[in-house]
Amino acid sequence: MMATAFEFKDVTFAYRSHPALNGVSFSIRLGERVALLGANGSGKSTLLRMMDALCFAAEGTATALSAPLTEAAMQDDRTNFAFRRRVGLVFQNPDVQLFNPTVMDELAFGPLQLGWDKPKVRDAIAAMLARFNIEQVKDRPPHRLSGGEKKRVALASVLITEPEILLLDEPTAALDPASRADLVGLLAREPVAGRTVVTATHDLDIVEDIADRAIVLSEGRIAADGPALDILHDIELLRRTHLIFEHRHSHGGHPSTAHGHLHSGIGPAEA
């Protein structure tokens, strides 16, 4: 039996009076690659934030790495430090995450906070610059980078500390097609191979490459949980949970009809 990364039982959470999670139960084993699928507002980003101890269950129980995932537990500095060493989150918007003067400073920040010696930090930075092909921007401020470059730097700044668990929130959001394909290629191979990777997304096209299992969320509840390929082929489930929709248009002046193929439920601002 593989050790458990996360265990959630009947977890609920609300933003003021607006429910975000309602009776969510699941477990994720160490080493699994899991996609959290759901339309906007389904609760997947909230669930990911809870896995990173940025918010906590109002009801039910949640554990991470067999330890209670509670606000009281995280108030203990040693517990919090140990957790942050093992779990890393890459935010949907890299501008929220990147704050140092240069890319080099950004990559050095985490290792220095963990007390690594300078030679180890320099070696780790060199490895990340090469692995993510960002050597050419190492001296630039993060806010001057392209969207794809920012995503790469954000991912590198988390992976440089070698977390056991990697959490990704909409990693392909707002990327152009070339940057999107490049990032998916990185996620599908090293340097994340062997880690527990949980990705919140509604981009169905990337799921087969980055996950073996999918959990579908709808209105704060789990609508399905199973092998990623099985989920992707369940058209009725994907339609019901607003992850795909039928495209309607007219043909040669004829009345509007539903088109035969289906489209991922990504709006123009998110494509």
What are the extents of the domains in the chain? 4-264
Number of neighbours of residue 163 by Cβ within 10 angstroms: 18
pLDDT for 271: 30
Range from 58-72, 122-136, 176-190 carrying the lowest mean pLDDT: 176-190
What is the reported pLDDT for 125?
97
- The three-class DSSP label of residue 37 is strand
Mean of pLDDT values over 233-239: 96
- Measure the CA dihedral 216/21/43/171, to 10°: -90
Q: Are strands 33-37 and 213-218 parallel, antiparallel or unpaired?
A: parallel
**How far, in Å, CA of 119 to CA of 22, rounded?**
48
pLDDT tops 90 at residue 102: yes
If you ran DSSP here, which 8-state letter would residue 35 be given? Answer: E
What pLDDT does 214 receive? 98
Q: What pLDDT does 202 receive?
A: 87
Share of the chain above pLDDT 70, in %: 88
pLDDT of residue 248: 59
C-alpha closest to that of 215 among 38, 31, 36, 6? 36
State yes or no: pLDDT of 54 exceeds 90. Answer: yes
| CATH match of 4-264 with 1.10.1040.10 | no
Q: What is the mean pLDDT of residues 225-237?
A: 97
Neighbours of 178 (CB within 10 A): 9
Q: Residue 35's closest CA among 232, 179, 246, 228? A: 228
Q: Does residue 193 surpass a pLDDT of 90?
A: no
**pTM more than 0.75:** yes
% of the chain beyond a pLDDT of 90: 73
Q: Which residues pair with 244 in a beta bridge?
A: 264
Burial class (CB in 10 A: 0-12, 13-18, 19+), 212: middle
Please give the residue that has the higher pLDDT: either 43 or 269: 43
Classify each residue of 78-116 as buried b or exposed e, where b means 16 or more C-beta atoms within 10 Å of its C-beta: ebeeebbebbbbbbbebeebbeeeebbbbbbbbbeeeeb
* Range with the poorest average pLDDT among 5-9, 160-164, 248-252: 248-252
Mean pLDDT of 28-36: 95
Q: What is the Cα–Cα distance from 182 to 234, expressed in whole angstroms?
A: 27
pLDDT at site 183: 84
Instruction: Give the least confident one: 88-102, 120-134, 155-169, 180-194.
Output: 180-194
> For 80-100, what is the mean pLDDT?
93
Among residues 52, 63, 50, the alpha carbon closest in space to that of 20 is found at 50
Q: Are 97 and 90 in contact (CB under 8 A)?
A: yes
